[in-house]
């Protein structure tokens, strides 16, 4: 396993080496020591490799990820997995604001809590948060699934499109045009699949969750809804 110590090697050198990886390196594992909260680590990856970052990371870690599995053994700053296309990003601590922002695909797992605007404008990513999330999460979320085992803050799903949200705990308030929806069998099945993918066992039952999504009242402008825009 190649190991890079960021106390001795620059971030530019690390990212350059990771960007040089390709399909020929399928399954290769890298270890990154002493990240010390540096920003933009392991960004723009496009290879089916495994990256373990041992420690806390700063802003935009694993941004634009494609194919790679990135595990952060610590907390993550703003915008972890921002604009991710595919692969897996697993934060074993807490995440700051805008986790998974604008992400198109893949799976983001956060073992701790996520701050405000988790999943903002998500476009197909799946996000599983084992703790709670902050206010304005899933704001303008367009596609994908957001699963929260803890509580959700104010204005959940404000101006949401077709993202599906599952929350196990309390929701402080719903945003504009976000409503609670019926949990049908297909939703229970997809929720179980997401929990399994995030390593959450059968002791967490899908019937403990409630589903939220778009009321579809703001898709087209209507003067009666002007105050909600």
- State the Cα–Cα distance between residues 148 and 129, nearest whole angstrom: 5
41-66 pLDDT, tens digit each? 999 999 999 999 999 999 999 999 99
What's the total number of domains in the chain? 1
Task: Give the CA distances from residue 189 to residues 32, 38, 86, 150, 203, in Å, rounded to whole numbers and listed in that order.
Answer: 36, 39, 22, 20, 15
164-194 pLDDT, tens digit each? 999 999 999 999 999 999 999 999 999 999 9
Q: How confident is the model at residue 222 (pLDDT cuts 50, 70, 90)?
A: low
Domain range for 179 = 3-228
Tell which phi-psi region holds residue 173, choosing left (phi > 0), alpha (psi between -120 and 50) or beta. Answer: beta
The pLDDT of 211-227, averaged and rounded, is 75
Res 75 pLDDT > 70? yes
DSSP type of residue 13: H
Per-residue model confidence (pLDDT) at position 22: 92
CATH code of 80's domain: 2.160.20.60
Per-residue model confidence (pLDDT) at position 229: 52
Per-residue model confidence (pLDDT) at position 1: 82
Q: For residue 118, give both structure tokens.
A: 């988790």
3 state SS of 220: coil
DSSP 62-123: TTT-BS-EEEESS-B-TTTTTT--SSEEEESS-B-TTTTTT--SSEEEESS-B-TTTTTT-E
Q: Kindly report the average pLDDT of the chain as a whole number.
A: 95
Listed in sequence order, the residues at least 6 apart from 203 whose beta carbon sits closer than 8 Å to its beta carbon are none
């Amino acid at each position: 396993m190649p190991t890079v110590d960021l106390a001795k090697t620059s971030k530019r050198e690390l990212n350059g080496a990771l960007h040089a990886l390709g399909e020929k390196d399928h399954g290769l594992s890298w270890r990154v020591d002493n990240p010390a909260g540096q920003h933009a680590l392991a960004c723009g990856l496009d290879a089916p490799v495994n990256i373990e970052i041992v420690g806390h990371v700063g802003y935009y870690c694993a941004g634009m990820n494609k194919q790679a599995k990135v595990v952060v053994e610590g907390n993550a700053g703003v915008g972890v997995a921002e604009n991710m296309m595919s692969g897996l990003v697993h934060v074993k601590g807490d995440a700051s604001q805008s986790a998974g922002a604008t992400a198109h695909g893949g799976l983001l797992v956060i073992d701790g809590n996520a701050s405000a605007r988790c999943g903002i404008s998500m476009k197909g990513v799946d996000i599983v948060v084992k703790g709670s999330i902050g206010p304005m999460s899933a704001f303008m979320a367009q596609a994908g699934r957001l699963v929260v085992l803890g509580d959700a803050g104010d204005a959940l799903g404000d101006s949401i499109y077709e993202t599906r949200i599952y929350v196990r705990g309390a929701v402080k308030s719903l945003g504009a045009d976000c409503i609670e929806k019926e949990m049908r069998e297909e939703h229970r099945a997809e929720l179980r699949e997401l929990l399994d993918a995030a390593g959450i066992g059968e002791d967490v039952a899908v019937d403990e969750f409630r589903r939220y999504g778009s009321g579809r009242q703001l898709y087209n402008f209507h003067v009666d809804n002007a105050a909600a825009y």
